[in-house]
Structure 1
Amino acid sequence: MKLYLKLILCFYVVLCNGAITAQEPTDCIDAVIACGNSQLNLDVDGVGTQELGVGVNCSSQENNSVWLKVTTITSGTLGFTIRPSVADINEDYDFFVFGPNVSCSAIGTAIRCSTTNPVQAGLTSNFTGMNGSSSDTSEGPGANGDSFVQWLDVQAGETYFIVIDRPIGRSAFWLEWTGTARFADPPVNDADTSGVPINLESCDITAPFNDGFMAFDLESNTSNILGTQTDVTVTYHISESDANIGINALSSPYTNIANPQIIYTRITNNTTECFDLAQFNIRVNIGPDFRPPSDYVICDDLSDGDDTNGRAIFTLSSKTSEILNGQNPSDVIITYHSTLTGAELGIASTILPDTYYNSIAFNEEIFVRIQDAFNPDCVSTATLLLVVNPASTRIDHSILQCDEDGFLDGFTLFNLNEANAILTNNVDNLSTKFYVDAARTLEITTPDNFANSSNPQRIYVEVINNVTSCITDAELTLEVSVTDTFDTDITTCDDDGTEDGFYTFNLNDADDAIVNGLPTDLDITYYPSYNDALLEQNSLENFYTNTTAFAQKIYARVENSNNCYGISEVNLIVNALPDIEAETFTSYCLNFFPTPITINAGVSSANILDFTYSWSTGEQDYSIQVNQIGTYTVNVTNSTTNCTKTRTVNIEASNIATINAIEITDASQNNSIVVNTSGEGVYEYSLINVDGTTNYEYQESNTFENVKPGIYTILVRDIKNNCGVVPQDVSVIGFPKFFTPNNDGNNDTWQVFGISSAFQSETIIFIYNRYGKLLKELSPLEEGWDGMFRGQHLPTDDYWFSVLLEDGRIFKDHFTLKR
């Protein structure tokens, strides 16, 4: 039969040798006794004392090791397979076997060992051990071997030490025994066989009663675990590792450190030292499950005759279902107590009656005991706060409303919400509901538009605290007054700078007219509509801009101590200003002085007789005559509305031009004339030939280009105010390039252009042939040279001239005579 030993090791690689915690199985002397069918769970690391000596130790020493001690009870073969729990080929386990019957002080050399590295050896798994198919007794390190060596032939009663070492990796491992030899059986947990439960549970009966910690008698399980076994010791441990190693046994009674908590039991045969492990739970029952109750909140009322004392009647059992939170009521017993100690210990004298009148005003803390109905020692406790919210102060009120609906019958509309400020005493978080019946069942759903059904009429009010939901009853009396006030107008001119029919009125300007002759100390508030005034909603600011251009009706509500006295109509009237052009410009020709011009008040679309006029000159006619430049103003006033608007007439100077100089460039390829003028007008310029034909129409520029030679008249006119035209004659000198004396009426003579009796009349002209012979001396006033010399026609040829102008200029050039 195969026996299995499971070892789960949690240990870490240590790079240097050294001692570890006492009694950990990293040394021979602390080796774990391995018996048939045992399970081991070890929490070890390190190497303890390095005990692998020289000899057949497969060239290695301990890295992270655990020592096992096995004793056979039958002869046969001893083999095993170590299976790392992680299949990663890099997990490398080694082992060493010492014996038989050696002592830890003289352990000797290993009789079997393997330190083969599975990666270096090219293996497909990381298993190692002893089996019947291998023939070598040692192998390794590194690439040497296949990780398995020959198993041992053993005799009954022999003892061996097995060192399992892990140089690479962190995983736990399985150890499977093979071969035919058997080990002694460990003791058993008789409670498993007999079916006796060994879990321990206790109610939390020591103060504090709800912390989950209690002292347990662990030894109460010993007899159940032993059963009929003898020569066996039972010990109790916090961890499975401690139980495997046999260290840190717990004493009894033992107070748990967690709730619930596992206790590990080591059952050891005192002769063979074989052991087995068991476990059980210890649990502290901290009482029945429950939901902590919310505060029990009610409102102070008159049930005890006083709604201000902070005391009221509570029905404590009304919180029971909340505490149970769906549990079966028969499973728990719930009582309410005046003290915490009374609730914890179940003191009857502290139990409160179900109908409880709190003894501490407004806030009192009581305590709930929740007891397991089947285990009186299992109890939970909770705190319950009894809260009495104060009621609001009762304030009754009345509203006096005007009968302004056109029928003096004592019936009108009320805005009941207008009473809220007084009904709630201006306290935040208070609201109101209104009812027509004393039982307060018929709520008024539109309190801002309520029509009374009697005069007076009593309305029943609930004043509600929005935070606590506490309600105080109050009453509101509605009365309709038949007093009245006066209608009036506020009239203004549209003189705010924007003539659009809108104006910002000071509504208080209507106050005196509205209450003229009425009692003093009346309050006036303005509203956009009659209903708004009646219901006191959407009030207007004192400075109000009308929303309908030129004319709008608003309403004034007059009150006496918040009671309606009357509602008046107030007409807001914005009169338009006279329709005139506010500013204009015109010009006066200074050259016409003292002849006057006429200016007027500029009324556009109305009868001028509907207005009065006041000029800055003192005149009061629609139009006046002036002959001085400057600024004139006239106030135009509507005779009906008395609205005035001012017109400004700006008269600027204008005049004919003064020609200061004329610059002429002539006898050139591009003859030009530049006219330089001054004056108060705006001028245009024209050029007219002596024959009356216009060479240049009027233009803004004072310069004429490409002017043909000849006599011209320059015209300068004022276009600013049409003050007149100034003429000036000019001459542009030029010389013909040819002439054709054939009597056809065109170019029959040659003469200098631009000379007349008024211009350059003293000029002298000489004509020569190409050899310099003087042919003709001309006066500029003659008709011109006809191509004759001494009665003979001269031939076609170039001829030369010399001109001495009257202004002293001399020109010489040639021209062509063509026949």
Structure 2
Amino acid sequence: MLLFFGSFSYAQSNLPSREINSIQLITDDGDYITKNYYARFSNGDCYTIKRIRIVLVKLTVNKDKFEICDSGNDGLEKITLSKYTRDVNSQSGTKVLFYSTHLEADNNATSFLRVIDLTSSSTVYARISLSDCVKVVPITFTLVSTPNIVAEIEKEFPIYCDNNADGKENIDLTELDAQINVNNEQVEFSYFKSYNIQNATFSDPYLDPLNAEVQDGDILYVKVKYKNSDCFSVAKVKVRIKVINYLINLSPNAILKICNEDFTASETFNLEEVVSQIFDQGKNEIPFSDFDITYYVNENFANQGTSAGKISAPNSYISSAANAYVYARFQSKSYGCYSVAPINLLFVLPPKTINSEITICDNNLDEKYDVNLLAYKDSMVQYPNEDNKFKFYKEFADINVAGKEITNPENFIVEANISKIWVYVENLPNCGSSAEIIFKRGNALNLDKKHFNLHNICDTNNDKKEQIDLTIFENNFSSSFTYEYFDKQSDLWLDQNKIQNPRAHIFDETTGNSIIYVKVFQEGFCPDFYTIDLKLNEVPIVKIEDQYYCKNDIVGIDIVPDVSGLNVVYYSWKLPDGTMIEGADKKDLTNIKTLGTYVLTLTNSSNCTYTTSFKIINKDTPKIISLTGKNDYYTIKAEGIPGRKIVYSLDLIHWQDSNVFYNLKVGEYTFYVKYADSDCYGDSIKGKIFILQNAFTPNGDGINDYWVLSGLDVFNNNSTLQIFDKYGNMVYKQISNTEFKWDGKANSRVLNSDAYWFVLTAGDERIYKGWIYLKNKN
């Protein structure tokens, strides 16, 4: 059974009074209506309920006419239609596509418009769809001109005074209008500090264009639009402020301090004392005598320049705040221009000094106890402050007595009869206090060993310079020590010219300074020092040039390095194959024929070593490319260095310019090549002139039973023999690099007596052809 209900709960209860008709009339008004009904399917006591959701959609058009601003008034704008889809229809879930014709939109053509070029007015057709609902409407785009203005200008605003000399003044921005709107169009103006050219939006408007604060060099933007249109043009304006009268330049950093030594709740200031801090005649054109100077309790009153907030007695101004500000107004009597500057009024408490103790040492190891008193100044006061000034005296009675102050506190020498001195600390003249400084002599650090020799240094390049690790002796002392290194004892005393990188110190023996001074420190002790004596030893440097060897020479070459005066005690040779030849008597190599790189390491009596290398290289010789010929001659093709003459020989004795050898007799030959200006020959190649047997009798009688050609091993390549009968059938073939031997058979079958044709291709590519007569016993 199937019944319908208006809600899920009604369908569950299944009351007949809640049942509705299967045909329903929906009368709700709106563009998007949804209704839910519920169907109850039952069979006996079993049932199920399903929701029926009805959606009624009325597709709407929000806007079908658009005015497009002609930016630049060039009569053309490219329109991306997707930007207007939500303006045409903003219903949720709808899809909007644009077409050239109504028919294409109706048919939902696959090709739709994305961009159009608008030159005046154009109509496209928007297809609005949601599920099966479709609406097609014409959309009209009309090109609208924008105000024709000057897009960029620079405007100078003359002002009588630049008060406060800050480059800022209030001007009337409407003075720009005529210079921008040169065509006198009916337009409106608005003014902004920022403009985003990417999305054509303005920000930071000037709320009062008639009295707008600007600064010299500011960039502002003017929006110009027709009164009856949203289309606008933008003018970019650079503002120039031209000051007619002189600027008044005042310092903003004036401070007036007073010593509050009695800790009173208020102090009296003479504001006129600070004028020299505020005004510098060298920075101003207006003479000081032309100013009226008045004082005010705050900056606003000072800028107003009226009686409000004015200080009537500036030479006896009472302040109850420890840190306060008042303001001075300098106004020109001649021009009326003014500037205002702050004055910081400060109560200053005298520094509270405390007695201190300084442990002194002979820090420079010059047998004098010197101390930098200023290095301990923070321990002399309860509250350190950069405004504190320190003065030191040998006697208490000398404090603030002219000529009695210690003049060199950074390098004060503590004499044997001095155990304490006095310090006076002030932050303002006569605003201070004093305390004692007690000197205590520190415990000296006594090193067990104070001199080292470093005499085993090898001078790598024999240039009297070497990089040395000076820190190697630090291992003799405690790990808690720290070190400083100096080239000279005078530098040690003056604590100057420290060696910056003692682990890689460049020692120059030519300077004559062979002693290094090492200052040693340990926490809680006065420093000590030790010395290092440096000496460089020469390295046995020798050079062996590359050697050239003729590879066909019977005798090799000898390598005899010149080591005179080098005090060499040991030789180590490394041959190209890795073999080592070593010993005190292995100075020379003899009868060397092996090509490659040789390495020689020399060790002298100072145990300094030097390694050099050289090569054994083949002398350059021509290269044989090929050997060709016929029955009684050979032609040699060789290549070499262009322009260098090649000669040829059969016996290494007689050499000829021609590369052809004629009238050769039967036998084996070896051919040689070399350069005419050299005794070293290079490649050789073998050849052979054959005598060919023209008949044989393979009848088994042991005489002339085989056709034989031997000596093929003279060739680098294999030789080939082919034998044919008179019908052109090949009856025998052999490839060999030693000899040919034919028994007159073809595949073990005895051949008839007859003449047979042979083709012999020698290993040097010569080809021999002819007849062989085979006389068999048949």
- Report the TM-score range of the alignment, normalised by the length of the smaller protein: 0.3 to 0.5
- What TM-score does the superposition give when structure 2 sets the normalisation length? 0.35
Which structure has the larger Rg over C-alpha atoms? 1
Structure with higher RCO (Cα < 8 A, 6+ apart): 1
- What TM-score does the superposition give when structure 1 sets the normalisation length? 0.34
